[in-house]
Chain A
Amino acid sequence: MSSVLYDTPGPKAKVRNWIYSGIFVVLFGLVMWWALSLMGEKGQLDADKWTPFVTDSQVWTTYLLPGLLETLKAGALSMLIALPLGALLGIGRLSDHAWVRGPVGAWVEFFRAIPVLMLMLFGNALMAPRFLDVPSDTRPFWAVVTGLVLYNSAVIAEIVRAGVQSLPHGQSDAAKAIGMRKGQTMLYVLIPQAVTAMLPALVSQLVVILKDTAIGGALLGFAELLSANRQISANYSNTIPTLVVIALIYIAVNFALTSSASLLEGRLRKSKKSTGAVVGVNDVNDMATGANSGGI
């Protein structure tokens, strides 16, 4: 395989590659050996620290699966609320009237600039008895959802704006030519196409939301997947195995979402029926705590 940076390796380069591979294996092996011996010393490698995840189904039914369910619930609900809200904000930012564009733009930029944790803390304080008086057992959940919605509706507004702006000019010109008003152009021509174009970016935003629910678990007492680690390691005193298993669950769920987002993007880019406008996973100028990597 040849690439920008190197040619297909010849005999000499192949030998060199093997040497580099060898050095890497030795270094990596040393680090792993050090880490594993340290873990072994502290008893984290003992079989009884790891077997609960296979033998004791209660670990899953009592802690991990309910935690995962809460994570997914908070993520899905936040997405469902943030989506229409973000669409409205995004359309508002594209308005021809400065008195709509200005305030909406300020709102979006403000909530994008603030850490989602602070929005969750704000939501939590807002739901205290003094203000909204949400029952204390569901308060962490709603605080997390509030924070996620405020933040992600602002990000989705930017995705919507990028989606509409990625459409070819001819689309709105044609709509104008057949006598559509501005609202009609937006509603019947631009938005339906932008929605398809945005799908990959929206799916990858879900990953960001799912990861951010963990903040609520650590700081607001929201009973999501990561917070299950406290009870499990209290029962079996297996901190590291528990964290590893929880990380693997997150990675599995998020990896599935990430790959479906890029699959979707690839399909949309190839499909001949659409206008070809696609807001890719990397096209949104916001990294959040993010799945997006800055694209060019």
Chain B
Amino acid sequence: MFDFLDSGQYDVLGAFWVTVQLTLYSAAGSLIWGTALAGMRVSPVPLLRGFGTAYVNLVRNTPLTLLIIGCSLGLNQTLGIALGGSTFKEIGFRLAVLGFIAYTGTFVCEALRSGINTVPVGQAEAARALGLSFFQVLTLIVLPQAFRAVVAPLANVLIALTKNTTVAAAIGVAEAALLMKEMLENEPQALFAVFAVFALGFVLLTLPTGLLLGWVAKRVAVKR
């Protein structure tokens, strides 16, 4: 039943490795971009707050597929932006990562913002009384506490991102979902076996993430 795995025709592990790489690069990028967005949304400058709010509301309500296809059709094929990639494979991968960062950053921002709300007002007031500037209050006092409070929600964002990376199949990035599509077309008789293999792969990717980060969340939570 699983003989398609031995034929050497399909590189299942390789496809899942691309999925993992997409996830890791996008996760790192979205963490940075999401933190910057959250900083804008809580900043004292009204213009920055407005930009942050508008960005989050616009991008969050746009389908991820549209963003990814927009990166490929719009940025690459129409405007000729290749993000420094030279081969088709490289360009597709980088554009997909860009799309994931733009999308996932909004969820990181919202998670972080709700974490900032859990920090008691007294903390920031005390910091201001010491004469710290907004930037110092944010980076030294509030964000470290906020990050510790949002490990669990960020784990959910990471799990959702792992599943979302399959959308990169829409622009031909050779990750797990694209291979599954190809295998289902070539081996229609093995439908349930193929599905089982890929489903298992995703359970193995997402389950440990949730368990590990759930444990971390309990360890680092600020006791109040």
Contacts and interface: CB of A to CB of B under 8 A. Distances in A.
Q: Do A and B assemble together? A: yes
Interface of A: 3-7, 9, 13, 17, 20-21, 24-25, 28, 38-39, 42, 44, 110, 113-118, 121-122, 124-126, 128, 130-131, 207, 210-215, 217-219, 226, 229, 233, 239-240, 243, 246-247, 250-251, 254-255, 258, 282, 285-291, 293-296
Q: Is the interface of B mostly helix, strand, loop or mixed?
A: helix
Nearest to A253: B61
B87 interface: no
A286 B66 CA distance: 22
Given A5-B42, A130-B188, A294-B114, A113 B124 contact: no
A293 B111 contact: yes
Interface string B65-98: 1100110011001111100000000000000000
A118 B195 contact: yes
B78 A239 contact: yes
B199 A5 contact: no
Contacts of B65: 211, 214-215, 217-218, 226
Contact of B199 (A110, A125, A243): A110
A257 to B, nearest CB: 9
Given A4-B119, A117-B177, A219-B181, A290 B160 contact: yes
Interface residues of B, number: 72
B177 A250 contact: no
B222 to A, nearest CB: 12
Interface string B165-201: 0110110000011001100100011010001001100
B163 A296 contact: no
Given A17-B44, A121-B184, A294 B66 contact: no
Given A24-B47, A115-B177, 13 more contacts: A4-B116, A5-B42, A5-B142, A20-B43, A110-B203, A118-B176, A126-B191, A239-B77, A251-B62, A289-B63, A289-B164, A294-B153, A296-B115
Give the most central of A6, A110, A128: most B CB within 10 Å: A6
B107 A290 contact: yes
Interface string B127-166: 0100000100110001000000110111011011001101
B160 A118 contact: no
A104 B118 CA distance: 34
Interface of B: 42-48, 51, 57-58, 60-66, 69-70, 73-74, 77-81, 107, 110-111, 114-119, 121, 124, 128, 134, 137-138, 142, 149-150, 152-154, 156-157, 159-160, 163-164, 166-167, 169-170, 176-177, 180-181, 184, 188-189, 191, 195, 198-199, 202-203, 206-207
Among A126, A130, A285, A296, max chain B CB count under 10 A is at: A296
A116 B218 CA distance: 29
B204 to A, nearest CB: 9
Given A217-B65, A296-B149, A288 B160 contact: yes
Contacts of A293: 60, 107, 110-111, 114, 153
Nearest to B191: A125
B74 A243 contact: yes
A254 B61 contact: yes
B191 A294 contact: no
A128 B189 CA distance: 11
Contacts of A217: 65
A201 B142 CA distance: 29
Contacts of B111: 293-294
20 contacts: A4-B117, A5-B42, A5-B138, A17-B44, A28-B51, A39-B79, A44-B79, A115-B177, A130-B189, A218-B69, A219-B181, A226-B69, A239-B77, A247-B62, A285-B156, A289-B160, A293-B111, A296-B115, A296-B149, A296-B150
Contacts of A251: 57-58, 61-62
A11 to B, nearest CB: 14
The 10 closest A-B pairs by CB, nearest first: A294-B153, A293-B110, A254-B61, A214-B63, A218-B170, A287-B160, A214-B65, A211-B63, A115-B163, A115-B166
A255 B170 CA distance: 25
Contacts of A116: 163
A9 B203 contact: no
A110 B74 CA distance: 36
A1 B24 CA distance: 39
Given A4-B121, A13-B44, A243 B69 contact: yes
